[in-house]
Structures are given as C-alpha cells and as structure tokens.
Amino acid sequence: MSDGQSADSTDDRIAIAFWGEKSYNNTHMARSIGIDLGTTNTVVFVPQKGIVINEPSVVAISVLDNKILAIGNSAREMIGRTPESIVISRPLVDGAIADYRVTGAMLRYFIKKAGGFLSFMKPEVLISVPAGITSTERRAVIEAALHAGSKAVYLVKEPVLAAIGAKIPINSPSGNMILNIGGGTTELAVISLGGIVSSQSVRIGGNKLDVAIVEYIKKKHGLAIGERTAELIKTNIGSAIRQSTEENINIKGRDLTSGYPKTIEISSNEITEALSENLREIVQIIKAVLEVTPPELCADIMDKGIVISGGGALLKNIDVLITRVTGVPARIADDPLFCVARGTGTVLENLDAYKKNVMAKR
C-alpha cells in the first residue's frame, strides 16, 4: 500500500477489509451487490443475476441550485452539449474520490437501480479499490457507500478482483501476474497464496489515451476534437503497435485556423504514434515489478504469462506490444472489461472462503 500497512490489517497479504455489521451468511445473497467503481465506468454485479449495470461514472449538475440532474448514461449524453448552467462531473479521478457528495449520489443511484424491488432493504456492498489506496481514500469510499444506503461495506483491491474474475487461481503457491488497465489507472500485481506479493500502479488509463489522441490531432492536423471522438478513434482503429496494413477513419472536428467544421482522414499508425509515450510508461511498470519479485515467482510468470484485464485490454495488439518489449508472454483475459465486476461476484458468492484467506475485520 502506498501509505504503508494500515493499522487494521494483520497481514501484508490481506487484500479485503470489512466495515459494518457482521453478516457472512449466504442467505443474504439477494441483498449483496458488487461494484466495480471505475474512473470511467461503474459496473454493478448482483449474485445469481450477473452484471446488471454498466454505465459511465458521470454526473450532470445544475450550477444554479447545485442539484444533480442526471447520472450515468443520461449524463454522458450531455457531454460537450451543455449550456453554462450545467456542468458535467466525473467524481472519480485516477480511481480515487475527488468529489465526495457527487460520488455518494452516484453510488445511491446505482445501488437503488441494482436493488430493484429489494431497494427498501439495505444491501451489503463490495467495492473495488486501487491497490495503492490510502487510508483517507479508503474512508471516503466507505463513508460514501454507507451514506448511499449500504448495510455493510467490503473493500477489495482491484488487481485481486481482476485476477479472480479472470479465473486465475490466486490461492495457489505460484506466481500470477495481472495487468489491469482501467479508465484512470493501470495496476500491475504479482499474486501468490491469495495475496499481493508486489505491485505498482501508474495514473495512465483509457482516459489519458483519449487525451493523447486529442492532443496529437490538434498538433499534427490543426483539428479540435472531443474526447468522445478520440475514444471512437481508439476503439475503431487504435493499435499498440504499427501495422503493415493500415486502417483509416474519417473524423469531424473544428479547424483551428478557419474555425469551421472540417473532416479529415486518420490512419491507425498515427494513433499508434499518439499512444506510444503512454503505453511505454505502462510497459515500464512491468519491468519495475519484475525487478522486485522473487526469482521463483518470476519463473512462474514466464511460464504462465501476464494476464491483461480492464478496458485497456481491448486496445488492439496490446498483448503483442507487452510480449515484444518484456519478453514475457501476455494474453488478454476473457471478457476483460468485466473481470473486476465478475471478481466481486465470485467473492460475494464465496464470502466465507475468501474471508479466511484475505479478509480483515475492523
């Protein structure tokens, strides 16, 4: 942890902490909710139902009376289209709560929406948090969730959840490396015997990649585009490595010279160039973590490879880039976008088993 071992932990391997009323019985399953609280998207998992919500972590707020007008999908539709009287807020920055009140409102909205007809019952909520979360950030998440109507709050380190969701046997006495590329942060962890042996994070994720595309097109083509357009470009033709057969896409924006709308054609190799610096930093943390990982676990990782999860895993050829630069085999997890959310479900469905291995009670 970045702020050192917390006082309420009893073991360096502990990855889950519990706050609230004691209630481990699986009969409470119907009132349990797993939340992948992401900088870009929030994904909600309900045991026995699966993923029930996948919406942007975005809130629209009225400047005049400070009231929340829209959350999630409806707020995202307003991005780039609001008058001065409405501001769009992303209450999470780099995986941490930047705006407590707005995060609480957003959690309340998602918890109520996920609860359906059980919304009158207070649910137990399990939330993913960055591995390097500070004690102050931890308290902010707990308080926001409790004020949002939770009966109890569980916090689980994101790389552990991603590994569980990617079906990595985290409790085995063997080294497993998971690279989770989210919207705000990229986290890398080596997991063995149920705990994190070594980890590192960098505040680069899908959002920074989008910004890099915006800046590149502005600088090279003199065209102003929005981050939603940049995301569209990244999704459609983005690649982590240069391709011999290029893909192209037409994009619309505002010409910075004339001020008029303009359409230009962009190639996939241009996007690779735009993303190269940020991707280099992501690859660098792999080297940094391997340097402090015990040799036996490094040997395991060479055999099994690096598993990539998160939305960033959807960038074309990201696994090829990592293998090429590090020499360590890399593969994309199944359905990488939802690994963390599925991990929350697995922990909720097997709470007793995970409690014994990686949970501390405060």
pLDDT of residue 189: 95
What is the homologous superfamily of the domain 16-51+100-163+339-361 according to CATH? ATPase, nucleotide binding domain (3.30.420.40)
CATH 3.30.420.40 residue window(s) in the chain: 16-51+100-163+339-361, 169-204+276-337
Q: How far is it, in rounded angstroms, from Cα 151 to Cα 138?
A: 17
**Helix H or strand E encompassing 255:** strand 248-255
Q: What is the largest CA-CA distance in the chain?
A: 65
CATH 3.90.640.10 residue window(s) in the chain: 206-274
* Residue 61 structure tokens: 């707020």
From 67, 71, 156, select the one nearest 113 (Cα to Cα).
Answer: 71
Give Cα separations from 114 to 73, 120, 161 (angstroms): 15, 12, 20
Strand pairing class (330-332; 306-309): parallel
Q: Where are the alpha helices (DSSP H) in 195-338?
A: 206-221, 227-237, 268-291, 295-304, 318-326
Task: Tell me the three state secondary structure of residue 35.
Answer: strand
pLDDT of residue 1: 41
* Residue 287 structure tokens: 């080297």
pTM: 0.85
From 287, 332, 281, 284, select the one nearest 310 (Cα to Cα).
Answer: 332
pLDDT of residue 101: 85
pLDDT of residue 120: 61
Give the angle subtended at the CA of 108 by the CAs of 355 and 38, to the nearest 5°: 65
Give every CB contact of residue 230 below 8 A, 6+ residues apart in sequence.
210, 211, 213, 214, 217
Q: How many CB atoms lie within 10 A of CB 107?
A: 27
Q: How far is it, in rounded angstroms, from Cα 212 to Cα 104?
A: 30
What is the homologous superfamily of the domain 206-274 according to CATH? ATPase, substrate binding domain, subdomain 4 (3.90.640.10)
Whether the CB-CB separation of 326 and 283 falls below 8 Å is answered with yes
Whether the CB-CB separation of 195 and 13 falls below 8 Å is answered with yes
Whether the CB-CB separation of 319 and 297 falls below 8 Å is answered with no
pLDDT of residue 116: 62
Q: What is the side-by-side strand order in the sheet with 261-267?
A: 223-224, 248-255, 261-267
Give Cα separations from 357 to 32, 116, 198 (angstroms): 20, 32, 18
Q: How far is it, in rounded angstroms, from Cα 347 to Cα 107?
A: 20
Is residue 206 left, alpha or beta, with left meaning phi > 0 and alpha meaning psi from -120 to 50?
A: alpha
Whether the CB-CB separation of 82 and 88 falls below 8 Å is answered with yes
Task: Tell me the three state secondary structure of residue 24.
Answer: coil
169-204+276-337: CATH topology is: Nucleotidyltransferase; domain 5 (3.30.420)
pLDDT of residue 23: 39
Give every CB contact of residue 355 below 8 A, 6+ residues apart in sequence.
16, 18, 24
pLDDT per residue, tens digit, the chain (362 aa), is: 444 433 343 333 333 444 443 434 444 444 789 999 999 999 999 988 899 999 999 999 999 998 999 999 999 999 888 899 999 999 988 778 888 889 989 998 998 888 764 556 788 899 998 887 888 888 888 888 888 888 888 888 999 999 999 999 988 899 999 999 999 999 999 999 888 999 999 999 999 999 999 999 999 999 999 988 999 999 999 999 999 999 999 999 999 999 999 999 999 999 999 999 999 999 999 999 999 999 999 999 999 999 999 999 999 999 999 999 999 999 999 999 999 999 999 998 887 766 643 343 33
**Helix H or strand E encompassing 262:** strand 261-267
pLDDT of residue 4: 40
pLDDT of residue 263: 96
* Per-residue DSSP letter, 63: T
